[in-house]
Structure 1
């Protein structure tokens, strides 16, 4: 298990960032290295995100040494989304099987988590979001069929998409974590368009199911002074509360969204008119 730390930035700071520094502060790459767990701890609402792609062996994590606790989840909850082939997650001896686009909620207090793939030829790709939690909530597997879908957008605006809620009060309860997956309709390229801000929550995106040669242009920053990140398959982007988060892909893609903050009200947002963007 490896862990790196990001400290975030104020909106005034990024006015002077070049491409390299902007990517270093907000873009997380190399999440899915073979047979290891890679985590990033960010001071943006203390979100911990990670990835693991077990191929030849299982991957185990759970130590809290890097964050100053006995266990990684001593005072945290976690969502684990499988973005690849069939795999398993074992939480303190309890086995869960995750198909593609299934999500496992792991409650506060879990000590050891081990993930594995059914086949090294079609490995599972486990993507993790973890946030501080103040309640003990039982572990729960949420299958793709059990998620709550919302159809959004319009094909005429190239932003038609299906958002599936997994870790959400209407599907599976948590303390502060929200997590879901959005798929774009064929021919649509824009996500989260028109954009919005949510001052009381931060968000992270993990883009996946992109062809190796394709890229996504993720727009971020304050509406009156935007910046962009060029994102590849499997990359994740941190979105502070002061930043918009929208993007357009050069080909098909999907993304996992994870949020945490003061509330779990999905519609607690401040819409931003496209005419306001600069």
Structure 2
């Protein structure tokens, strides 16, 4: 498990591109036949990727998080970004198609991940955060997610946001998780940007051709920086950082959040004219 320690916004002015990417960008999560995890000290989120092929992949030991089991004091959302597959949690089998998400509650002992077709494997993207209560596991299909249509053509930020793990759809302790798809011709994943001081966020950009990129903007409003992001890369966004991005071509992204609350609208907008 990779470890990222998090940094202060006062450190950002001294970072070159290599250091910025090392601290905030998680690459190569989806390796065929493997599970990859990264642990960040930013609100203790664990980000993971698994791409099972011919052999099932499993996890559940808590050694890397300091507890008897991985889920002794944690919950998780698992989004399928690839071909169809199954997730078995303590003997209960859940079938996930593309853009379905499984919520795994505190207390789970063993998770097994499989792909229906090894030639078109599932790609399971995971966000896990500390949890203080037991909530039943639940599969949320794309059809069950709550859609919100946002943005406008004139600003090239028209998009459909789907809430999956959210109090209005499927409850959790502290995790929020969903998927956003941009409308054809739009490039901005949010505009204008905003801050939410009481929550951090992780973005997993996907469904992007290998030749295309997303330019993810971060940092304080008066000290912005950019990350050039490829398909399936994950960006960590601390509470002190703005976040917005523009793609050179079509893309989608999974957003996952945790912090003091689950109020999706607890944000502080930042005017475009304030950015530097």
1:119 aligns with 2:109: no
Find 2:66's aligned residue among 56, 65, 68: 68
Corresponding position of 1:244: 242
TM-score by length of 2: 0.99
Find 1:253's aligned residue among 208, 227, 251: 251
* 4+ aligned runs moved over 2 Å, structure 1: none
Q: Tell me how far apart the structure 2 counterparts of residues 73 and 272 of structure 1 sit (CA, whole Å).
A: 37
Q: CA deviation at 1:163?
A: 0.2
Q: Tell me how far apart the structure 1 counterparts of residues 222 and 71 of structure 2 sit (CA, whole Å).
A: 38
User: Counterpart of 2:19 in 1: which secondary structure?
Assistant: helix
Q: CA deviation at 1:29?
A: 0.3
Q: Tell me how far apart the structure 1 counterparts of residues 249 and 72 of structure 2 sit (CA, whole Å).
A: 40
1:177 aligns with 2:161: no
Corresponding position of 1:272: 270
Structure 2: runs of 5+ lacking an equivalent: none
Corresponding position of 2:213: 215
1:23-102 alignment runs, 5 A limit: 23-102=21-100
Structure 1: runs of 5+ lacking an equivalent: none
TM-score by length of 1: 0.99
Corresponding position of 1:233: 231
Q: CA deviation at 1:178?
A: 0.1
Find 1:200's aligned residue among 189, 194, 198: 198
Q: CA deviation at 1:155?
A: 0.7
Q: Deviations over 1:220-249 (max 9, x none)?
A: 000011000000000000000000010000
Q: Tell me how far apart the structure 2 counterparts of residues 154 and 105 of structure 1 sit (CA, whole Å).
A: 32
Q: Tell me how far apart the structure 1 counterparts of residues 59 and 227 of structure 2 sit (CA, whole Å).
A: 30
Q: CA deviation at 1:153?
A: 0.3
1:148 aligns with 2:111: no
Q: Tell me how far apart the structure 2 counterparts of residues 210 and 62 of structure 1 sit (CA, whole Å).
A: 31
Q: Tell me how far apart the structure 2 counterparts of residues 193 and 73 of structure 1 sit (CA, whole Å).
A: 36
Q: Tell me how far apart the structure 2 counterparts of residues 71 and 30 of structure 1 sit (CA, whole Å).
A: 25
Q: CA deviation at 1:265?
A: 0.2
Q: Deviations over 1:4-58 (max 9, x none)?
A: 1000000001110000000000000010001111000000000001000011211
Q: Tell me how far apart the structure 2 counterparts of residues 202 and 66 of structure 1 sit (CA, whole Å).
A: 22
Q: Deviations over 1:128-172 (max 9, x none)?
A: 000000010000000000000000000111000000000000000
User: Counterpart of 2:9 in 1: which secondary structure?
Assistant: coil
Over aligned residues, Cα RMSD in angstroms? 0.5
Q: Tell me how far apart the structure 2 counterparts of residues 38 and 4 of structure 1 sit (CA, whole Å).
A: 8
Q: Tell me how far apart the structure 1 counterparts of residues 210 and 60 of structure 2 sit (CA, whole Å).
A: 31
Q: CA deviation at 1:67?
A: 1.3
